[in-house]
Structure 1
Amino acid sequence: MDITTIEPQELWQNFSKLNAVPRASKKEERVIAFIQSFGESLGLPTTRDAIGNVVIKKPASKGMENRQTVILQSHLDMVHQKNGDTVFDFNTQGIDMFVDGDWLKAKGTTLGADNGIGVATIMTILADDQIEHPALEAMFTIDEETGMTGAKQLDPSNFTGSILLNLDTEEDDELTIGCAGGVDTNTFLNYTQVAADQTGVAFEITVKGLLGGHSGMDIHKGRANANKLINRLLFEALKSINLQVGSVDGGSLRNAIPREATAVVVVPAAQKLEFLAFTGIFTTVLKEEFQTVEPDLSITITECEKPAQVMETATLKKVVNAIYSVPNGVFRMSPDISNLVEASTNLARVIIKDGEFITQSLQRSSVESTKADVANAVGAAFENIGCSVSLDGDYPGWKPNPDSDILRLMVKLYQQNFKQEPKVEACHAGLECGILGGHLPGMDMISFGPTIRGAHSPNERVQISSVQKFWGFLLNVLQEIPEVKK
């Protein structure tokens, strides 16, 4: 099925055009140019600020000039992730999409529905003169996924609106009024290399088939972390086998739960059979342990070319112990909001190669002090073995405002449209609203969107009927925006 024939056709057409443009975080020049050209082609005032955010303004529909100005906001970048066996170049190729029942998916890569559906929705509203709306200020931010740089360096002088609608929530029955902040903990260690055992046998250990997912929205689901699994295997093997490690390469992006990891190890020839027997037994243990949440977990052991050098043994044991001890997953549940993860940490990247040991992780919390606490816990584990530790990309959370005027309006309209109550939530993901609120004091903000599953992984998909529901609801909200307060 051609997605551009699905209703609303203009929205899906815009999403298809957007997904033809490579738009990795920190590599957004092409998509910035794309959205600038779009605004200019409509004859609408279009500006780009110093960091690269694009603003397109559209006057109010006839008869709605006295309504409050609304900022519609989405981010231009997307997470670039693919399966290990998928041949795809994100720098040159557009996303290859297909329809599967009520879901739109991509072939072996992330789909870009996060936050491309939001971008396409705003594009469609800007281009359609039949839609009733107040004055609009479309805010397209950059680099949301790897540091929220666009939001942090936003030029607030471009905006006069009093209501901000962020289109980056991933459940169509939720109205989000708060979110977690985050900080990256990065560690580095130079280690001594020694010659590999000349009589040893080299093996490549590969962990794959994990679900992965969004390190905020999916962190509470008990999914396995490939970095932690492969390290656990190394930890247990070192108890009885004189194992050497040539390299480890696990995970990818700091906001994605790691799905794959590999390690190249050298085993004494005399312990080859013992090692293979151990890995077979331990693989069975892990698969049984995670069979409910990770049914496709795969651990393979194959002989490979022996590396010339490996990590010195004493350092190896310290590194493996540190990775084993570092917290990962949910750190604390909120005592104030039911079922909300307050703080979490995701060990996103582990690299051992050529004398360098590197880790990258992302800590999230809706409470600033707890965010610092979990970051300290992660950093301390690595600092104890001599790693340098740096904290980067710190951004604040968004404090919920249950007395919000736009919240009251949208709850009422949701009830009228769908004959049920929406879920009014704070989420554990990072949204730009906390940062934007700092630039735009007094802004009345809310986030909502269609149902998206598997964000930040090749399992990402968006529900078509949910997009249609979200679209109709958004148009109704724009029609009912109240007059400017006097």
Structure 2
Amino acid sequence: MSAEIRQLEPQGLWNKFADLNAVPRPSKKEERVIEFMKNFGNSLNLETIEDEVGNVIIKKPATSGMEDRKTVVMQSHLDMVHQKNNDTVFDFETQGIDMFVEGDWVKAKGTTLGADNGLGVATIMAILESNTIEHPAIEALFTIDEETGMTGAMGLKGGMLDGDILLNLDTEEDDEIGVGCAGGVDVTATRSYKQESVSESHLGYQIVVKGLQGGHSGMQIHEGLGNANKIMNRLLFNGFEKYGLRISEIDGGSLRNAIPRESQAKVAIEKSNEDNFLSETKSLAAAIQLEYKTMEPDLKVEINPMELPNQVMELGVQESLIKAIYAALNGVYRMSPDIPDLVETSNNIARILVKDGQIKIGCLTRSSVESSKWDLADALRSAFELAGCDVTYSGDYPGWKPNMDSDILKVMVPLYKELNNGEEPHVAACHAGLECGILGTNYPEMDMISFGPNIRGAHSPDERAQISSVQKYWNYVLEILKRIPKK
């Protein structure tokens, strides 16, 4: 890890970020980072609690003169999305993130950076450690497993916190003040299929879709980024319709909340159709590349000879599968009629795995409107059930309804303008799953707000944090703490 990160300003924040990024912290495997946070709190002689699901709470009294202010909960999540480039050799479970500075940005070498939400965690740590920062009483809440189910927020019981105001430090635009977010549900389709042997009149090919940007399946779902699973399905559908292509395996995408960057499939094609199949598939690939040339200039489709697969999917199931994937919506389902430019409802076809007689398709459906979320989920279920799949819903979590009469919002908007030469902040709801909606179920009277520094490419190896923006955000945080209203 580059020592140059520790020299950046504000040093307190960047040093804590470097410390944190040395600790492996994949979602659902946060044991090491939980212990790291407990040791940190105890080293400061602060009350430190681990709840029954693994969330860590560290409480710090108000500094002198701030005892009459409302208690503030400062909240961020400990886990990070693990994504790496195919040619990057890296073990997220044993290695710390390898960071470097490039211009005004901090990046990682071939992997996600962990700025989401590590910069929020580091911010809180720096404030807890400081002896000079003015602040009211603080309850630092570090949740687990935000990225793959929000089980930390869901498991936090009422009565653990006494705070009046919650500052969620998990927004990725430094001019944005978040007042609402989308809820979500995982839609998973599964079925088994019989495998059939392939005659010697066939040839084996591997089709690879790669070079896509990927990205956050909520915040970037409207940008027109390519989804490797949908692109692969177009190629397979075309090859089957015209040349009788048979599918042996498909392996596309990875995490539910990341737009799929890569997919690969193993297929068989009749020798007599080989030339036409190759010509047609390359032509279609070129057309798709042309469609995406603005947003996905590095998109590549490879069609490589391989050993003939021993078995392929039974014909009827294969046809139903590729038609169901074609019919299933990916992307924006509905824009909000009430908030300009806000995606209301969307779906990400995140993961497709077809192998050894088993199909599994994983989607993450998001919406700020519960009825619309279930409308889309039911539409997806219908498409997959028509293909003979069993469909389950899991990981359902609520959205966060905006409160435009929020007291902390009335502090933060004029303060932002004061610090930024009169510039108006963008007060908005976002199409991502923040923990505020879930936390609000057990703490309905808590006044909540979300903000953070500029982070780009979250959930992808292109993730980067803007140094100048972190400085701007840090100054904002310190001033907010000074202006917390009295009890």
Asked whether the two chains share a fold, i.e. TM above 0.5, the reply is yes
1:122 to 124, 142, 147: 124
Equivalent of residue 160 in structure 1, options 141, 162, 166: 162
One-letter amino acid of the structure 2 residue matched with residue 161 of structure 1? G
Query: Deviation string for 1:111-162 (max 9, x for gaps)?
Result: 0000000000000000001000000000000000011000001023221110
Report the equivalent of 2:486. 483
Q: Does 1:367 align with 2:366?
A: no
Secondary structure at the aligned position of 1:160 is classed as coil
* Equivalent-residue separation in structure 2 for 1:375 and 1:44 (angstroms): 45
Q: Which of 6, 9, 13 pairs up with 2:8?
A: 6
Q: Is the partner of 2:222 in helix, strand or coil?
A: helix
Alignment of 1:297-336 (within 5 A): 297-336=299-338
Contact 1:197 1:266 in 2 (8 A): no
Cα-to-partner distance string for 1:328-347 (whole Å, 9 max, x where unaligned): 10000000111000000000
Q: Does 1:390 align with 2:392?
A: yes
State yes or no: 1:247 paired with 2:246: no
- The answer for the alignment partner of 1:62 in structure 2 is 64
C-alpha distance in 2 between matches for 1:13 and 1:197: 61
Kindly provide the amino acid, as one letter, of the partner of residue 232 in structure 1.
R
User: What is the CA–CA distance in structure 1 between the aligned matches of 2:427 and 2:171, rounded to whole Å?
Assistant: 12
Whichever residue aligns with residue 437 of structure 1, its letter is: G
Selected match of 2:453 from 450, 453, 465: 450
Q: Secondary structure at the match of 1:400?
A: coil
5+ long unaligned stretches in structure 2: none
1:50 aligns with 52
**What residue number does 2:469 align with?**
466
Counterpart position of 1:427 = 430
Deviations 1:460-485 (A, max 9, x none): 1110110010000000000111110x
SS at match of 2:159: helix
Matches within 5 A, 1:125-140: 125-140=127-142
Letter paired with 1:270: S
Report SS of the residue matched to 2:88.
coil
Q: Which amino acid aligns with 1:299?
A: V
Structure-2 separation of matches of 1:357 and 1:391 = 16
Partner of 2:261: 259
C-alpha separation in 2, matches of 1:414 and 1:271: 64
Within 1, Cα distance between the matches of 2:320 and 2:390? 15
Tell me the distance in 1 between the aligned counterparts of 2:249 and 2:183: 33
Residue 278 of structure 1: CA displacement?
Answer: 1.1
TM-score by length of 2: 0.99
- 1:359-417 CA-partner distances (Å, limit 9, x unpaired): 00000000000000011111110011110000000000000000000001000110110
**1:144-159 pair list within 5 angstroms:** 144-159=146-161
**1:265-321 Cα deviation digits (max 9, x unpaired):** 011111111111112111110110110111100000111122211101121111100
Matches within 5 A, 1:17-56: 17-56=19-58
- How far apart, in 2, do the equivalents of 1:157 and 1:67 lie? 20
Distance 1:409 1:479 in 2: 11
* Separation in structure 2 between the aligned mates of residue 219 and residue 240 of structure 1, nearest angstrom: 31
1:196 shift after superposition: 1.8
Counterpart position of 1:95: 97
Match of 1:438 in 2: 441
Aligned residue number for residue 356 of structure 2: 354
Q: Give the share of equivalent positions with the same residue, in percent.
A: 60
Local SS of the residue matching 1:82: coil
2:417 maps to 415
Measured after TM superposition, the shift of residue 199 of structure 1 is 2.7
Q: Partner amino acid for 1:151?
A: A
Whole-Å separation in 2 of the counterparts to 1:430 and 1:95: 24
2:346 to 341, 344, 347: 344
Q: Which runs of 5+ in 1 are unaligned?
A: none
Tell me by how many angstroms 1:198 deviates.
2.1
Are the counterparts in 2 of residues 110 and 457 from structure 1 also a CA contact under 8 Å? yes
**Separation (CA, whole Å) in 1 of partners of 2:377 and 2:136:** 43
The equivalent position to 1:204 in structure 2, one of 203, 206, 214, is 206
Return the match for 1:380 from 382, 391, 410: 382
Q: Which amino acid aligns with 1:241?
A: Y
What CA deviation, in whole Å up to 9, does each residue of 1:162-203 have, x standing for no partner? 000000000000000000000000110001100023231111
In the superposition, the TM-score normalised over structure 1's length comes to 0.99
Equivalent residue letter for 1:471: W
Paired with 1:193 and 1:58, the residues of 2 have a C-alpha distance of 61
Paired residue secondary structure (1:254): coil
Deviation string 1:39-66 (CA, Å, 9 cap, x unpaired) is 0011100000000000000000001111
- Residue type matched to 1:472 in 2? N
- Could you tell me how far apart the structure 1 residues matched to 2:292 and 2:351 are? 21
**Could you tell me how far apart the structure 2 residues matched to 1:437 and 1:242 are?**
53
User: What SS does the corresponding residue of 2:241 show, helix, strand or coil?
Assistant: coil
Distance between the aligned counterparts of 2:276 and 2:128, measured in 1?
Answer: 66
The one-letter code of the counterpart of 1:457 is: S
Cα distance in 2, alignment partners of residues 204 and 343 from structure 1: 35
Q: Distance in 2 between matches of 1:67 and 1:239?
A: 68
AA aligned to 2:113 is: L
- Specify the code of the residue in structure 1 equivalent to 2:395: G
Aligned to 1:268: 270
| Separation of aligned partners in 2, 1:320 and 1:385 | 9
Q: Distance in 2 between matches of 1:368 and 1:261?
A: 31
Q: Aligned-residue CA RMSD in angstroms?
A: 0.8
Of 2, 13, 16 in structure 1, the residue corresponding to residue 18 of structure 2 is 16
Distance (Å, rounded) in 1 between the aligned partners of 2:229 and 2:102: 31
Q: How many residues are matched?
A: 484
**Partner AA of 1:411 in structure 2:** V
Q: For 1:231, which of 230, 233, 236 is the aligned residue? A: 233
Greater Cα shift, 302-311 or 226-235: 302-311
Can you list the C-alpha shifts for 1:16-39, whole angstroms capped at 9, x where unaligned? Answer: 111111111100000000011000
